[in-house]
Amino acid sequence: MKLEYLTMKKGILTAALMLVSLCVGAQENLQLQKLQMAEWAITNLYVENVDEKKLVEDAIRGMLSQLDPHSSYATKEQMLAMQESLNGNFEGIGVEFNIKEDTLLVIQPVLGGPSERVGIQAGDRIVAVDGEPIAGVKMSQEDIKRKLRGPKGTKVTLGVVRRGIAEPLSFVVERDKIPVKSVNASYMIRPGVGYIRIGGFGATTHKEFTDALKKLQNDGMTSLILDLQDNGGGYMVAAVDICNEFLENRDLIVYTDGREHSEYNARGNGMFMKGKLMVLINEYTASAAEIVSGAVQDQDRGYVVGRRSFGKGLVQRQINLPDTSMIRLTIAHYYTPAGRCIQKPYTKGQSDDYARDMQNRLKRGELTSADSIHFADSLKYYTLRRHRTVYGGGGIMPDYFVPLDTTQYTRFHRAMQAKGLVINANLRYVDTHRSELKEQYRTFAEYRQTFEVPQTVIDELVDEAEKQDIKPENKAEMKTTLPYLKLQLKALIARDLWGMDEYFAIMNEQNAIVQEAIRLMEQE
C-alpha cells in the first residue's frame, strides 16, 4: 500500500510540475496550453489506458461540432477516398465491378484502361488476386478494392473465371491511373437539344464538360439542359469555370465574404454564351452546384427548373495535419451575383435539426407543392438584367417548380432497392444473357425502342424479396411499383451493355424535372 501511495504521489507531482512549466509560457498561448495539459493528463493519469489517437480525434471533432454543420475532420483513409473523387483519378486495374453472390463481377473494363488492354471482358469474374482467393470468402468490397488498387506501374496477377471457358484464366495487369468521371452523361435528348449531367465538381470536371459540349455542338446542339440534380458540389473553381462557358465578360459569378472578400467574374470567352439554357436542380443539389444555378439565374442567362436546392453556402479550406488526416474548416459564405446568401439557416452545435431539414421540408409540403413555400419580403432579391424576383434564405429557388412524385417510387420498391435486390436481378440477367442481348440489339436505338424486361426477371425478383420478408402491402402497391421498376431494370441493362449515357437516356424519359425542362425548351 505504501509503495502504491508513493507511486501515485510521484505521478501527481510529475503532473503538477508539467502543468506549472506549461503555464510559464506566454499568456496568449493559454488556451493551447490548457488543451495540451488536458490531453497529457488524460493519457497519463486516467485510471484506465486510453487510445491517444482516438482521444485527439474526438477532441477535434468536438471543437468542430460547435461551429457549423460543414466544418469537419477526416481521417487519412477518408481523405484519400474524398481526394479520389475530387482529383478525378486513382491508381488501379480499371474495372467497374459489383459483388454478385460473394464474387466480383466485372460490369465493364474502363475503356483503354489496363484491364481492357490485357483482355479482361465485361462479365468476367475475378476470383483471385496474386494467388489469394477473393471469391467465396466473404471479403468486403472495401478490402477487395484495396487489393486491386496500388501504385501506377506495379503489377497484379488476377485469376478470372469466364462464362463458356472451363479452365480459369490468368491475367497480369500493370496498374495505371484510372479516371474518375464527374460528367455522368451527355447526349442529344431531343433534336437540337443537348443534355449534360454533372455528378460533382472536381479537378477534371471543366475539361470533361467542354469536351462534352464540343461533341454535342458538332451533333447540332443549339440549346442545353444542364442537369445538376443530386450534385453535392466540390471544387468552387470548377463551378466558376463552368459558369464562364455561359456568361458575358466581367459578369459576376459568385462572391465570398468572411475574414476576406473575394469576387469571381466571367472572362467572356465561353463556348456556349448564346442559346437556350436550362439548369436542373433538386433538394440534394448543393454547394458548387448552387453557385452555377445561382449565377445562371441571377444573370438571366437561363432558367432554373426543379425544387429548392440544399442550401450549402459555406466555403471550406482544407487544413492538412501531420499524420495526413485533415480538417475542412469554414472560412467564408458564398453569395450569388444578386447578393443572396446560399447557406440555409442553422444553429451552432445543433446538427440534428440541420440534418432533419429534408424531412421537415417534406412534412411542410415544400417538396410537393409550390404553394407550401413562403418567403418573407426581406428575402426578396432581383435578377441583374430582367429584374425578375428571386428569393434568398438558403438554397436556390427554381424559376419553374416541379413537385416530387411520392407515389412513383413505392415503399416496396425502396425496400428491394435498399437490400440490393434490384441490382442483383439486373446482374443475374445480364450475366446470363449478355451475348444474346448484344447479338439481338446491335444498336442502343433498337434496344430502347423494342426491349421489354421479361416477366421472369420480375417474378424472380419478387420471389427473392418475399424470401427476405419484403412484400407489397396490397395489389395496388404492386401495380404502382411495376412501371418504374421495369424502367429502372431496362436502364440498368442498357448501362451494362453500353454505358451511362444510355442509362440516363432511358431514366430521363420518366424524370419529371427533365421532362419539364424539355417542355419549356419547346415553348421558348
Catalytic residue set: 287, 298, 312
Which triple of cell numbers denotes residue 481?
Answer: 411499383
Choose among 206, 213, 182: nearest CA to 89: 182
Non-local (6+) Cβ contacts of 140 within 8 A are none
Mark 63-77 as b/e (b = at least 16 C-beta within 10 Å). ebbeebbbbbbbeee
Distance CA 480, CA 194 (A): 31
Non-local (6+) Cβ contacts of 167 within 8 A are none
- The SS3 assignment for 27 reads helix
Distance CA 202, CA 166 (A): 43
Q: Give one DSSP letter per residue of 509-524, joined into a string.
A: GG-HHHHHHHHHHHH-
- Give Cα separations from 197 to 25, 231, 514 (angstroms): 56, 9, 11
| Residue 327 amino acid letter | I
Choose among 102, 130, 129, 108: nearest CA to 120: 108
| Residue 93 amino acid letter | I
H-type helices in 161-315, by residue range?
A: 205-218, 236-244, 288-298
Q: Are 340 and 291 in contact (CB under 8 A)?
A: no
Mark 101-111 as b/e (b = at least 16 C-beta within 10 Å). eeebbbbbbbe
Distance CA 332, CA 262 (A): 10
Non-local (6+) Cβ contacts of 49 within 8 A are none
Distance CA 367, CA 373 (A): 9
Beta bridge partners of 106: 97
